[in-house]
Amino acid sequence: MKNLFASLFIVLSLIPAYPQDTIHVPGDYSTIQAGINAASNGDLVLVEDSTYTENINYRGKAITVASWFLVDGDTNHINNTIIDGSQPAYPDSGSVVTFSSGEDTTSVLCGFTITGGSGTYISGSQPVRVGGGINCLMSGAKIINCHIENNSIYFRTGTVVGGGISVGPPGNTSWLIALNNIIRNNLIFGNNGEGGGICVVGNARLENNLVEYNTAESVGSSMWGGGIALFTINVVTSYEWFVKHNTIRYNKSIAPSGTGGDGGIGGGMAVAGTSRSVIIKNNKIIYNEVQSNAPIDCHGGGVILQNQTETCIFSENLVANNKALQNSFCKGAGISIWSYNTITQPILYNNIITNNTNGNLGGGIFIGGTGNFTNSPVILHNTLTNNSAVFGGAIYSDQSSPRIINSILWNNGTEIYYSGGNVEVHYSDIEGGWTGTGNNNINADPYFTDPLYNLADSSLCIGAGTDSLFVVGTWLPFDFDGDPRPSPPGSRPDMGAQESLLGCPATIICINPTELYFHDVLLNNDSTMVFTITNTGSADLIVTDIFCTNPAFTVNITDTLITSGTDQIVEVIFTPTTASPYYGTIEITSNAVGSPDSVTVNGNGVTGIENELFNTFPDDFVLQQNYPNPFNPITIITYGLPEANKVELTLFNALGKEVAILSEGHRDAGYHQVEFNAAELPSGVYFYQLRAGDFVKTKKMILMK
């Protein structure tokens, strides 16, 4: 009962404080419109549970039209008090609810299901059909606790706007306040348009809404915002937009047969052309999708931020499981930051960006466009993990210079890819390391403990960040969950979106490398390699057991007590006794959190007969798979020539750009080997190609550092 009273208090506090007369529908008037016509400013039109097949217009009145949900808080009233706009008196006026006489947020709609709308036709040089469910034409409104669903706008040759709610057109200075609504299963279908669920060209405060299963589909050109599209064209105001605590999921923006411009843009949400500060905070932007056909682009499976002229704060959002689907030209499965020509940079902080999938550029974030990027994005305290793309699994930057600070980029394939500009990375954990501009970065497993990517006590990311005051000029005192940062006070903040309770990690073990490749070793001969154990904690590290699961590999450690900040070199000796491959795991048990740890080892035992291969002549040209593959940083490439020939062995990166010539010149018939050291190259997929006479053969290799 306490929760019910609290809910009712919140709802009632949103209703304008006018002296109210109550008009009952159908008790006093049989239709909602008749009740509105009879009402005066400040009145309440209270509607009984039923289905009302009508299209209503507020006619400029500052009134509240509500179901009995307003009285007792029973959500069944929302489901059972239905305004069905599927039979409009005039087909071109098919919006279920219309605000078109300068209404503002003192005009309230509360506790209804709004359905069956087909939108309102507006003629002009570019005809448009707007507002399937609710149409605010040069007006505003307050929409609370409504279900706006199953409204559809079809206008194949024109522009379609706002399947569920539309606020506009350009120049509108009114406000939409939308709180606690469910906006779902709405559709816009036309030549181009915006907002399958909601489109606001004006001012917006959107909080605690569920926006799901809406679709924006184009048959011609661009389609913006499958769930939400927000624009402020020619609107000047000092107020901020708020988009908070919404769940935006399973929405689509698609242009399957588009022929020009851009295609599907902002599957979950599109924010563009805003002339004020925008705060997008504590939202779940999940399972959304953009889709286009080449050669047009699609942007932002989860969200696109474009062309803002004031600060955009994007914080504490979960951006997960979004997709950008297309043969090519996909940009940003999670987030696309596009053409950001600003006087103040966008700031993304405390976000979790995970499991987003792109067929081309930027699994987690894409940054690029035609703007001059005078102030490029700041990506601060974000966790990007398990995203995927052909280029830039975590981040793809095109002609921009973002700053990535206090962030974790892990398990995204190629973490960062940039074409032009200059990416700066500071105080961040980057899988595979970072060799570009920046400082104080690490390459260490962050040891996530749960689906929201909190850090284990053994994580090297704890206490490894830098103070936000020095980055954005202000304190950022909380993490993704709202917990204090830094913790404890006075310590350095952690990397990533979550803050641990520890000021520094517990006693931990850092091992480098974690894989050893011995290649070919003659039988009963020895080959020795080493790895290093580092204690980066503040207490002594004690190794209590260390051994290899394969007896062909002998492990020697000289000291099992490793003091804080020191290294211990471990020697591994490979002694093969049979001509076969050998595989093993070195297990290391210690007092470190997360113990035991491991190092994988492998090698080949050879008799020497294999070496006779190089005294034979192949019947045809041969290019063998490099070994080992994946490798770090050395690999062997073997090729064979049936006759003497001029040879060129060339290495290309994933974009087809020539990286190095590995072997060149005249070679005798027989087998040849080339040892390639990739120490100077970044991790990624490469291709090596042999040309000998008319013979051309290409194979793939993977460098994993």
Q: What is the pTM of this model?
A: 0.72
DSSP codes joined into one string, 264-316: EE-SSEEEES--S-EEEES-EEES-EEEE-TTS-EE-SSEEEE--SS-EEEES
Cα separation, 208 vs 333, in Å, equals: 24
How far is residue 442 from each of residues 426, 428, 495, measured CA to CA in Å?
Answer: 9, 6, 10
Buried b / exposed e along 625-637 (16+ C-beta atoms within 10 A): ebebeebbeebbb
Cα separation, 40 vs 35, in Å, equals: 10
Domains in the chain with CATH codes: 332-457 (no CATH), 509-606 (2.60.40.10), 618-703 (2.60.40.2550)
pLDDT for res 344? 54
- Element spanning 7, H or E: helix 2-13
pLDDT for res 542? 85
Per-10-residue mean pLDDT of the chain, 705 residues long, equals 41 51 96 97 97 98 97 96 96 96 96 97 90 96 98 94 94 90 97 94 92 93 91 57 93 75 85 74 96 77 78 91 79 84 72 94 86 69 96 89 94 90 91 92 92 88 85 85 89 93 73 87 84 80 90 91 87 88 90 80 72 71 85 86 92 89 89 87 91 91 85
Find out whether 107 and 101 touch, Cβ atoms under 8 Å.
no
Assigned token pair, 86:
């599927």
Find out whether 541 and 562 touch, Cβ atoms under 8 Å.
yes
Find out whether 341 and 311 touch, Cβ atoms under 8 Å.
no
pLDDT for res 571? 93
Cα separation, 494 vs 75, in Å, equals: 42
* Nearest residue to 453 via CA among 518, 509, 383, 505: 383
In the chain, the amino acid numbered 259 is T
Q: Residue 490: left (phi > 0), alpha (psi -120 to 50), or beta?
A: left
pLDDT for res 491? 83
pLDDT for res 43? 96
Cα separation, 268 vs 227, in Å, equals: 5
pLDDT for res 133? 98
